[in-house]
Amino acid sequence: MTAIVDFLNGIIWGYILIYGLLAVGVYFTIRLGFMQFIHFGEMIRAIRGSRESDANGISPFQALCTSLASRVGTGNIAGVAVALYLGGAGAIFWMWMVALVGMATAYAESTLAQLYKVRDGEGQYRGGPATYITRGLRAPWAAAIFAVCLILSFGLIFNAVQANSIADAVEGAFQIPKLWVGVAVAVFAGIVIFGGLRSIVRFAELVVPLMAAIYVLAALAIVVLHITEVPGVLAMIVKSAFGISEATGGVAGSVTAAALNGIKRGLFSNEAGMGSAPNIAATATPMPHHPSSQGLVQAFGVFVDTLVICTATALMILLAGVVEPGSGITGTKLTQDAMAFHFGAFGNYFIAIAIFFFAFTSIVANYSYAENALYHLGGGTKLGVTILRLVALAMVVWGGYEAVTTVFNFADASMGLMATVNLIAIVLLSGTVVKLTKDYMAQRKAGKSPRFAAKDYPELQGKIDSTIWK
């Protein structure tokens, strides 16, 4: 089984998704007229006016915080360290590049999630890739594959991975047994999860901005203390990305290693195109009342994840000069060594606490995606949701003390299949994304607050719930 799963992952992640995610990002960047650069200010505007909601949906700001809770996880701390160790400083440049094109992909998938969203039995907005695949492409079989893969990977196994990261960090910093860490994480996660979707998004709205701000402030403090070295580090990142100069770390000077590791870790971190964030984007009441509005908000989430938080981690490590090729010290340990260099013993505790919050918020947000997929499959009854919650929390406890590589690799294969289905879907629906974008920008250019009018889209008749957009 291990050999089969590893083979599938090698094909899916080594070829299909690495190049597929990048290609789709470039495709949408060009087809949408480089909107993530030209209309970056519009993303800020969409977020500034996004704290309102209604009885059926959450606010766009809550949706952004919840998607960031999932995006900003251990990949922002351990993943960046792995990219530096294996690809050298140049890997960070390629992480930036994949995030910049990924913003267009994130915009497209969340715009579609908004457009095709529906109401569940309690009137709450629901949607995501499974919904736009079913309603937009009339392919319920593909939607079912996507939903099952999402539940398995994000709802169950990845939460075990996040719990394992928390347990490792806490045990290393505070010598608390991993089993008890897993139990404690499950208890706290249960309190949030059993409160329902609104409890989850309120938690994310409160914790995520504070969590990210403290982490970035710590990085800024390090930058200020080493301000004279920063220009040299930034130049090293760019030069080593193209093999212009030898740089500290891993296989410095190897353009291929820098590109592959930067692209792979960047895609893992920002999740653009994976089909995860659209599940929460669909539950929002957009402000302005147009599908593109929530797409713009979610595109900004990719920017924050990679261009801000991953860069903060990279600067912490590179300014410490702790990357040693062949040492075997990578991941969380490398980041902890960097923080210990800057802040002494406190650095170890800081990273352990940061991982706790980054991973814990990911657990809560990932569960919300799985619950959304369960509703699509028709299992959104009180009993079905309760069973999913209990199994998800059991996986957290299990993941706290047990790390079974085959199971975690199975999650990668599941997520790879899920992402492949989503990428095909958003490319097939790209014409609708382009029309929505032109409509939104034309209204904004005319000085109006953009509003979606279903009557202007006769081709969507019977595919969308036009009553939502009145």
Compute the distance between CA of residue 31 and CA of residue 206 in angstroms, rounded to an integer: 36
Domain extent, residue 185, equals: 8-448
Phi, psi of 241 (to 5 degrees): -65, -25
Q: Give me Rg for the CA atoms of the chain.
A: 21
Per-residue pLDDT, averaged over 299-324, amounts to 91
Is residue 467 domain-resident?
Answer: no
pLDDT reported for residue 407: 63
Amino acid at residue number 340: A
CB-CB contact of 219 with 312 (8 Å): yes
pLDDT reported for residue 117: 94
Q: Please, which pLDDT band fits residue 410 given cuts at 50, 70 and 90?
A: confident
pLDDT reported for residue 271: 86
Lowest mean pLDDT among 125-129, 183-187, 196-200, 298-302: 196-200
Q: Please, which pLDDT band fits residue 326 given cuts at 50, 70 and 90?
A: confident
Percent residues over pLDDT 90 in the chain: 43
Is residue 460 domain-resident?
Answer: no
Per-residue pLDDT, averaged over 448-469, amounts to 92
Per-residue pLDDT, averaged over 11-34, amounts to 88
Compute the distance between CA of residue 278 and CA of residue 413 in angstroms, rounded to an integer: 20
245 has a pLDDT exceeding 90: no
248 has a pLDDT exceeding 50: no
Of 244 and 141, the one with more pLDDT = 141
75 has a pLDDT exceeding 80: no
pLDDT reported for residue 250: 42
Is residue 93 domain-resident?
Answer: yes
Is residue 458 domain-resident?
Answer: no
CB-CB contact of 99 with 267 (8 Å): no
Q: Which helix (H) or strand (E) holds 45?
A: helix 40-48
Chain-wide mean pLDDT for the chain? 87
406 has a pLDDT exceeding 70: no
447 has a pLDDT exceeding 60: yes
344 has a pLDDT exceeding 60: yes
Collapsed DSSP state (helix, strand, coil) of residue 125: strand
CB-CB contact of 88 with 257 (8 Å): yes
pTM of the entire structure? 0.89
Per-residue pLDDT, averaged over 243-252, amounts to 52
405 has a pLDDT exceeding 70: no
CB-CB contact of 263 with 404 (8 Å): no
Q: Which helix (H) or strand (E) holds 118?
A: strand 118-119
Compute the distance between CA of residue 107 and CA of residue 292 in angstroms, rounded to an integer: 8
Is residue 367 domain-resident?
Answer: yes
Is residue 260 domain-resident?
Answer: yes
Per-residue pLDDT, averaged over 400-424, amounts to 78
Lowest mean pLDDT among 22-31, 102-111, 118-127, 323-332: 323-332
The residue count of the chain comes to 470
Residue 341, number of CB atoms within 10 A of its CB: 16
Residue 101 belongs to domain with CATH number: 1.20.1740
334 has a pLDDT exceeding 90: no
Q: How many domains does the chain have?
A: 1
Residue 225, number of CB atoms within 10 A of its CB: 11
Lowest mean pLDDT among 28-32, 322-326, 465-469: 322-326
Collapsed DSSP state (helix, strand, coil) of residue 433: helix
252 has a pLDDT exceeding 50: no
pLDDT reported for residue 139: 94
Is residue 365 domain-resident?
Answer: yes
pLDDT digits (tens, 9 = 90+) for 76-114: 888 888 889 888 888 999 999 999 999 999 999 999 999
Nearest partner of 95 among 321, 312, 336, judged by Cα: 312
pLDDT digits (tens, 9 = 90+) for 359-401: 888 888 889 899 989 988 988 788 999 999 999 999 989 888 7
Burial environment of residue 112 by CB neighbours within 10 A (0 to 12, 13 to 18, 19 or more): buried
pLDDT reported for residue 50: 60
CB-CB contact of 265 with 77 (8 Å): no
pLDDT reported for residue 96: 94
Residue with tokens 């909601």: 53
Helices marked H in 138-284: 140-150, 158-174, 178-193, 197-225, 230-241, 255-270, 278-281
Lowest mean pLDDT among 53-62, 202-211, 281-290, 308-317: 53-62
pLDDT digits (tens, 9 = 90+) for 347-356: 888 888 888 8
Q: Which helix (H) or strand (E) holds 26?
A: helix 17-31
pLDDT reported for residue 253: 44
Is residue 15 domain-resident?
Answer: yes
Collapsed DSSP state (helix, strand, coil) of residue 179: helix
Percent residues over pLDDT 70 in the chain: 95
pLDDT digits (tens, 9 = 90+) for 167-194: 877 887 788 888 898 899 999 999 989 9
pLDDT reported for residue 251: 43
